[in-house]
Amino acid sequence: MVERHQKQIRLHGFNNLTKTLSFNIYDICYARSPAHREEYLAYIDEEYNADRLTNILTNVADIIGANILNVARQDYDPQGASVTILVSEEPVLSEEKISASTSARPGPYPEDVVAHLDKSHLTVHTYPESHPDNGISTFRADIDVSTCGRISPLKALNYLIHSLESDIVIMDYRVRGFTRDVKGKKHFIDHKINSIQNFLSPETKRNYSMMDVNVYQENIFHTKMMLKDFDLDNYLFGLGKNDYFEKDLKQIEAQLRKEMKEIYYGRNTGSL
């Protein structure tokens, strides 16, 4: 486990470490007819347009205590959106607050504001798509939170996961560059971490199956998450469970689980 209160490194100048959190989230649904698929894409465009994504990233900036310098956003035709926010550092924190904010503990839920951040940028891009034949539609969002300084962007994880409730989450965290202490010794990471899972809330860990692939000597950490259980009614777009025969519902659930497993494992599994 990561220590909650780690002795701080006395630095020579600015902390030049770059810490980047990148993750892909996937939402999957079943829309049987072409009309239902069109309605699904329209729903995604409404639910995840540039305005709402800007609000989400603005909340991330609030959570990590950053000053917003610039916002660029764009909706695309026929679907999709992108947002990029540049932010600047907050005033220097006390050693006590820095120690608390760099510890590996679950980050905030959407209603919480608990940490601060040095120089950073936040980006999100969305990719709705729909299978032409079998009714499966998948929405993907790519999110990056990148910092230069002492604070890890991992503090934003739980807010984003709970703001964009997802079936699959694939996360990468990496630390690049180095900083020097007052004796001239290089430090290639300034906090202890053995898994991104250290930063996830207990609720998230209960709800998802998880798998790690970490390269500790390169400061690269990778975690995949797949939702364990789901209510089929929440995955049927345009129609409800009462509109299908039982055998059709079993087939649809099998298709949804196949889609999730293929995304989670990153390979095609063949026909049902």
Among candidate residues 175, 123, 183, the one with its CA nearest the CA of residue 150: 175
Catalytic (active-site) positions: 120, 125, 148
**What per-residue confidence (pLDDT) applies to 13?**
56
**What per-residue confidence (pLDDT) applies to 36?**
87
- Predicted confidence (pLDDT) per residue in 59-109, tens digit: 888 877 677 889 999 998 878 899 999 887 654 344 454 444 444 455 555
- Tokens 């789901």 label which residue? 230
Max Cα–Cα distance, the chain, nearest Å: 72
Among candidate residues 45, 65, 67, 48, the one with its CA nearest the CA of residue 56: 48
The CA-atom distances, in angstroms, between 268 and each of 14, 32, 135, 229 are 46, 22, 17, 21
**What per-residue confidence (pLDDT) applies to 117?**
40
Cross-strand bridge partners of residue 140: 26, 127
Contact status, residue 152 vs residue 107, Cβ threshold 8 Å: no
The CA-atom distances, in angstroms, between 48 and each of 27, 64, 116 are 12, 22, 26
Positions of the chain with pLDDT lower than 70, given as ranges: 1-15, 65, 89-119, 132, 150-151, 272
The torsion angles phi and psi of 96, rounded to 5 degrees, stand at: -65, -45
- Tokens 């999110």 label which residue? 143
pTM of the model: 0.80
Count helices and strands in the chain by DSSP H and E runs: 6, 10
